[in-house]
Structure 1
Amino acid sequence: MKTRKNALVMLMSMVLVFTLALAGCSTNNKSEPATKAPAVNNGDKEAAPAKQTKPITVSMYDRGNIPPEIGTAEKNLWTEYINESVMVKYIPVPRWESVQKLNALLAAGDGPDLILDYDGGYRNQLFLQKQIMPIDDIIEQYSTDYKELLNEFPLLRQLGTKSDGKLYEFGRLLGYIPGGYLFIRQDQLDTLGLPVPETMEDAYEVMKRFASENKGSYATNLSGYDWMNTAFQNVTWVIENGEIVRDWDRVAAATSYKKRLFDEGLVDKDFLTDKNGEKALQDFVQGKTMMFGYSGNVLQVYNNYETLKKNNPSAKLAVIALPSSEFGQFSPYFNDPVQMTGVVNIKADDPQSVMKYVDLLSSKTMAHTLKYGQEGVHYKMEDGKEVTIDQEKYEKEVSWLGDFRMLGSQHIINEFTKYMDDLDQSDPFDKEVYAILEQAYKLYISKDRPLPEITKYMPGLPEDIQFIVSNANEPISDIWSRAIVGGSKVTVDKAVEDAKSIWKKSDGQKVEEFYANWYKENKDTWVFTKDLYDMSF
C-alpha cells in the first residue's frame, strides 16, 4: 500500500473499537520513554491550583498494545506528561474483563478514584449500589473546561443525571461517526441489470436473482451486523399511540424475512455457528456475498474493500440506504454523538484533583495533543493541516492513546471526516473509498432515515428489572433462531406464541410497566432519536 495510506493507518488505529479507543499493556517495563515528557498546557483555561498531596487513581483499559520500549499502562511517556499537571496513578483493567476487575478492586477497597468504563449498565449498577458520588458540587467549585462544555452542550448534563436529579457521570463529545453499513456489489447488480433495491421486497428479488445465477455464493449475511433487524425496526421497544410498548410485530416480520432467505438457500446454512461474524466477513472479502451488512470503523472498511479488490479485481462496491419495510425506512447505527464514560468513587478523598484531571483531559488542547502528538516532535503544520513527521515514531508514541480520550472535547477531531480528509485524492482507490464514505455519511446521518431505536440512551434498569430482562432474553433469542432454521415444522406464528409465553412467565409485564412509567415521566425532557440530528459540533 502507498505511504499515504500507511500514515492513515496510524492516524486511525485508535478508532478500532465501536468501538473507538485503545490503551496500554500491563507488564512492568522500566525503560525510559522515547521522548521526554513536555511541559503540560492545562487546557484552554487555567484552573485554580489544587493542593494535591498524593496521586489520585484512575482506571485505564489494558489492551496490551503499548510498545515495551515506551513503557506500560502504569508508566509511560504520556502518564509522565499528565503527571506534570496532576499526580495520577493509573490502575490497568483488562478491556474485555473490566467489570470483573473493577468489582474486585471495589470489593477490596482499592477501587480507582475515577472509574472510566464504556459500560453504561455497569455505571448504573454502581449508582444503584451507592458506590459513586454526585459531581455537581465539585464541578461548580473546581472545574473550568468541563463546566464550559456542560454549558455549551446541555446534553452532557442531561445524560449524566440520575433518577435522584443529581449529576453523577462525566462524558465526552464525539460528533457523528457512522458505524454500520449496507454494501452491495455494484458490479454484480449491473450484470443482473437491476436497480438498487428500494424496499425489502425489492431486496429479496435482487438476492434471489443473484443466488440463482451464482451457485455457491450467498445473497447476504445473517451473521455479523444484522441489517435486516434494523430495516424492520426490530428493536424490542417502540412507540405506539403515544406509549412505549414491547413489540412483537416487527420481530415477527424480521424473522419471517430471514426464514424465507434461509429456506430458499440464499444464505449460509451454518450462520448460527458464526458467533462473531468473521466467517461472513471472509465470505464477503472473497467475493462470495452480494449484499453485506457490516459494522466497523472507516479503516476497517478501507482494508476490507482493499482485500476484496485483491481477490476480485473487477469488484465494485456501493453503499446503499437500507431498503424500506412496512414499518418505515431506517439507517444503521452511528456512534453516540455524546457518550457518558466516567464516575467518581464514593471513597475518593481528593475530588478536587479528580476534577482537575477531568478538566485537563477534557480540554481542546489536550484532545488535539492526544490525537496528533506534539508539534515539532510528532507532526508539523503544512497548509493549515497536521502532517506526521515520522510514521514509526507516531505509531510507537501516539497511535495507541485512544483510551486517554474518554473525556470532554473529542469532537474537535471527528474520526470519520478526518479519515476522509486524509485520503489521497490522486489515488484512484482512495478516491473511490472517499466517495463511498461520503455517501454513507449522507445516507445514514439523516432525519429522513432515522435510527430505528426510540433513543440511544435507554434508562438504566433497576436490578430486579434487569434480572428479568437477562433471564428472558436468551431463551427468546433461541426461539427466533429455531424458527429461522426449523423449516416447515416451526412457524413464525408459533415462535411468537412461545416467545410471549416465556416473556409472561419471566414477569415481563413488570419490565413493560417500568418502561411505560419511565416514558410517561420523561417523554417531554428525555433525549430521543429525533433530537440527535440537530446538534452542532
Structure 2
Amino acid sequence: MKTMRKSVSFMLASLMVLVTILSACSGGNNDGTTGDNDPNVKKDPITVSMYDRGNVPPEVGTVDNNLWTQWINETVPVEYVPVPRWESVQRFNTLLAAGDAPDLILEYDNAYRNQLYLQKQLMPIEELIEQHSVEYKALLEEFPLLRQLGTKSDGKLYEFGRLLGYIPGGYLFIREDLLEAAGLEVPQTVEEAYEAMKKVKADQLATFGTNMSGYNWMDVAFQNTTWVLEDGDMVKDWERVAAATQYKKQLFDEGLVDRDFMTDKNGEKALQDFVQGNTFMFGFAGNALLVYNNYETLRSNVPDAKLAVIPLPRSEFGQFSPYFNDPVQMTGVINIQAKDPESVMRYVDLMSSESMAHTLKYGQEGVHYEMVDGVEQTLDQDKYEKEVSWLGDYRMLGGQHIINEFTKYVEDLDPSDPFDQEVRTLLETAFSLYIDKERPLPEVTKYMPGLPDEIQFVVSNVNEPMSDLWSRAIVGGSNATVDKTLEEAKTLWSRSDGEQVEQFYLDWYRENKDTWVFTEDLYDMNF
C-alpha cells in the first residue's frame, strides 16, 4: 500500500493540468464541491459502472479500488460499481430494479442503451454539456458524429461516446507463394477467386481453397447483409443471400472448403488449418497483434510461406471491404435518478481529456515509458503489464482519437527486424485497401437502430431457423437447391411475421435518412 500511494502522489504531481481543466469546466474546487453549491458542503461521490473482467493483478488492487481509482478520486470523488463484463445487462437490470444503478452507466451494448432510453431511464445531457463541460463539448464541435449518434428519436442528446479512429478488423489474406507456384495473378472477381482455388487445389498446393468458418469474407463480397437500399428504401434482401449461398455451395461441392466447417463454431480449426499452411485464401477477423502472431506461426510451420493482403473480389453486387471497428463508439449514459449530474459531467470531462487518455494508455512518463524520437517506449514490460495494460475499460469516454491502436501498433514494430517490417507492410496495405470509400463496407449503416421488444422477438425467433435453412442448402448436395431453399426461406419469414420487421426498417429509414449516420458518412472523418 505504501508503494501504491507513492505512485498516486507521483501521478498527481505530473498531471495537475487535469485539475485545472476540471476547475474550468465547472467552476469547482478539488474537494468534491462545485461553485454552484455551498462550498462548505462536501458532496457524496458519484457512482460509475466499470466492467469487471477479472484481469486486475491482485497486488495492484481491484477494478473498483486500485492506484488509478485512488488518483482519480483526488479530482472527482467517484465510487466504481463493478459489473461482470459478460453479464452486464443482467447486472444493470438488477441494479435498476433495486434503485441502485450507477449515476453513469458505461455499456458497449447499443441495443441495451436504447432499451434504457425507451424505458425513460436516461437523462438528456445537452444542457449539462453546454453549461458544465469544456473537454467533451469541444469533442462534439470537432466530431459532429458524436452528437448525431448520441441523439435519440425525440431529438435530444442522451449518449456520450469515444473516438477510436479507423481500425481494420477484417482481412482477406492470400498465400502469395502459392499464387506464384500456380502461375496465377491476384483474383479480382469472385469468379476468378473460384478458378484460382480450383487451380491451387488441383496442383496439390493447398488442402483448402478458403475457409468457411471464422470470418466469412464471401458474405461481405456478395453484400449479404440482410438489409439493403433499393429504389430509395431500406428493404429485406433475398437476391444477395441466394447468390452468396450458391457460391459457397459450389466451393463445398467441389471440395474447396473443409466439409466439417459447420462444426467449427468459433473458427479455431480453420485458423489452425491456415497457420499450418493448408489454406490458400483466408478470411480473418482480429487485431494487428493477432495478425502478427498468426503470420509468425505460419512462417514457423512453413518457412517459405509469403502472405499478401488483397481487396475482396468483386461480385455482381459491387466491391466491398471487410468490417472496420466503429470509428465513433457510443458508450455512456446518465441515469435519470442521478442526484449530481454536474459532477458526472466533471468526470466525463476528466476521462475525455487528452492527458487522461494518454496516461491511461501509456502510464507515467519516467515510470512506465520514455519518449524516444517522439514515440513512447515502454521501460519495463512486466511493470506495464501489471499496472497499465488492463486499463482499456477506463478509457470508454471521449478523447481516444489521440491514440489509434492500429497505427500505434504498426509504428512500434521494429524497423531493424525484417519480419516486423514485412508485417508492417501487410498492415499498412490492409489499411489503404479497406478504409476506402471506393470499396465501402457492405452494410447500410454500422449503427443499426435498436428494435422495440415486439420486433426483437420476431427477429430472435426467425434468425436461427433461417440460418439453418441456408446452411443446409450449402451441404445438402443436389437435393437442396438454392432456388428451393429461397422459397422455403421466404415462407418461413412470412410465417414468422417478418413483414413487421420489414415495415419497421422501412419506416425507420424514411424517417431518419436525412439525419442518421450511414456508411458513406464514415470515410471523411479527420482523425
TM normalised by structure 1 equals 0.92
Counterpart CA distance in 2 for 1:93 and 1:286 is: 39
1:42 aligns with 2:18: yes
List per-residue Cα deviations over 1:304-334 (Å, max 9, x = no partner): 1111111111111000000000000000001
Which deviates further from its counterpart, 47-56 or 391-400? 47-56
- Once the two structures are superposed, the pairs formed by residues 247-326 of structure 1 within 5 Å of their partners are 247-326=237-316
Instruction: Label 1:253 to 1:478 Cα distance change in 2 as closer, same or farther (>3 A).
Output: same
The match for 2:323 is: 333
- Once the two structures are superposed, the pairs formed by residues 475-490 of structure 1 within 5 Å of their partners are 475-490=465-480
Q: Do 2:206 and 2:280's aligned partners in 1 also have CA atoms closer than 8 Å? A: no
The match for 1:472 is: 462
List per-residue Cα deviations over 1:44-70 (Å, max 9, x = no partner): 833221446112111111111111111
Structure 1 unaligned residues grouped into runs of 5+: 1-29
1:496 aligns with 2:486: yes
1:417 aligned residue (388, 391, 407): 407
- Give the letter aligned to residue 36 of structure 1: S
The match for 2:93 is: 103
2:58 aligned residue (68, 75, 95): 68
The match for 1:15 is: none
Counterpart CA distance in 1 for 2:67 and 2:298 is: 38
Which deviates further from its counterpart, 474-483 or 35-44? 35-44
- Tell me how far 1:382 sits from its aligned partner: 2.2
TM normalised by structure 2 equals 0.94
Counterpart CA distance in 1 for 2:254 and 2:495 is: 34
State the secondary structure of the residue aligned to 1:330: coil
The match for 1:363 is: 353
Q: Which structure has the higher relative contact order (CA within 8 Å, separation 6+)? A: 1
2:437 aligned residue (432, 447, 452): 447
Structure 1 or 2, whichever has the larger Rg, is: 2
State the secondary structure of the residue aligned to 2:83: strand
Instruction: Label 1:43 to 1:162 Cα distance change in 2 as closer, same or farther (>3 A).
Output: farther
State the secondary structure of the residue aligned to 2:51: strand
- Give the letter aligned to residue 147 of structure 2: R
Counterpart CA distance in 2 for 1:35 and 1:370 is: 18
RMSD, matched Cα? 1.5
1:119 aligns with 2:109: yes
2:4 aligned residue (18, 25, 33): 33
List per-residue Cα deviations over 1:412-471 (Å, max 9, x = no partner): 111111111111121010010010001001100101100001111112222211111111
- Give the letter aligned to residue 171 of structure 1: G
Residue-pair matches, total:
508
Q: Do 2:19 and 2:75's aligned partners in 1 also have CA atoms closer than 8 Å? A: no
Instruction: Label 1:34 to 1:233 Cα distance change in 2 as closer, same or farther (>3 A).
Output: farther
2:505 aligned residue (511, 515, 519): 515
Counterpart CA distance in 2 for 1:485 and 1:196 is: 28
Counterpart CA distance in 2 for 1:64 and 1:340 is: 24
- Tell me how far 1:474 sits from its aligned partner: 1.1
- Tell me how far 1:94 sits from its aligned partner: 1.7
- Tell me how far 1:32 sits from its aligned partner: 6.0
Instruction: Label 1:187 to 1:353 Cα distance change in 2 as closer, same or farther (>3 A).
Output: same
Q: Do 1:44 and 1:364's aligned partners in 2 also have CA atoms closer than 8 Å? A: no
State the secondary structure of the residue aligned to 1:534: coil
Counterpart CA distance in 1 for 2:373 and 2:205 is: 52
Which deviates further from its counterpart, 295-304 or 85-94? 85-94
- Tell me how far 1:216 sits from its aligned partner: 7.3
- Tell me how far 1:215 sits from its aligned partner: 7.8
Counterpart CA distance in 2 for 1:108 and 1:255 is: 48
- Tell me how far 1:384 sits from its aligned partner: 2.0
List per-residue Cα deviations over 1:107-147 (Å, max 9, x = no partner): 22221111111110111111111122111122122111001
Counterpart CA distance in 1 for 2:444 and 2:409 is: 30
Q: Do 2:320 and 2:439's aligned partners in 1 also have CA atoms closer than 8 Å? A: yes
- Tell me how far 1:383 sits from its aligned partner: 2.0
State the secondary structure of the residue aligned to 2:257: coil
Counterpart CA distance in 2 for 1:442 and 1:299 is: 18
State the secondary structure of the residue aligned to 1:257: helix
The match for 2:374 is: 384
2:47 aligned residue (57, 65, 73): 57
Q: Do 1:31 and 1:71's aligned partners in 2 also have CA atoms closer than 8 Å? A: no
Q: Do 2:178 and 2:205's aligned partners in 1 also have CA atoms closer than 8 Å? A: no
- Once the two structures are superposed, the pairs formed by residues 150-161 of structure 1 within 5 Å of their partners are 150-161=140-151
- Give the letter aligned to residue 262 of structure 1: F
Instruction: Label 1:35 to 1:451 Cα distance change in 2 as closer, same or farther (>3 A).
Output: farther
Q: Do 2:206 and 2:277's aligned partners in 1 also have CA atoms closer than 8 Å? A: no
Q: Do 2:206 and 2:279's aligned partners in 1 also have CA atoms closer than 8 Å? A: no
Counterpart CA distance in 2 for 1:212 and 1:133 is: 63
- Give the letter aligned to residue 326 of structure 1: E
Instruction: Label 1:414 to 1:215 Cα distance change in 2 as closer, same or farther (>3 A).
Output: closer
The match for 1:175 is: 165
- Give the letter aligned to residue 350 of structure 1: D
- Give the letter aligned to residue 384 of structure 2: Y
Counterpart CA distance in 2 for 1:302 and 1:404 is: 26
Counterpart CA distance in 1 for 2:468 and 2:131 is: 52
Counterpart CA distance in 1 for 2:136 and 2:403 is: 17
1:89 aligns with 2:60: no
Which deviates further from its counterpart, 320-329 or 492-501? 492-501
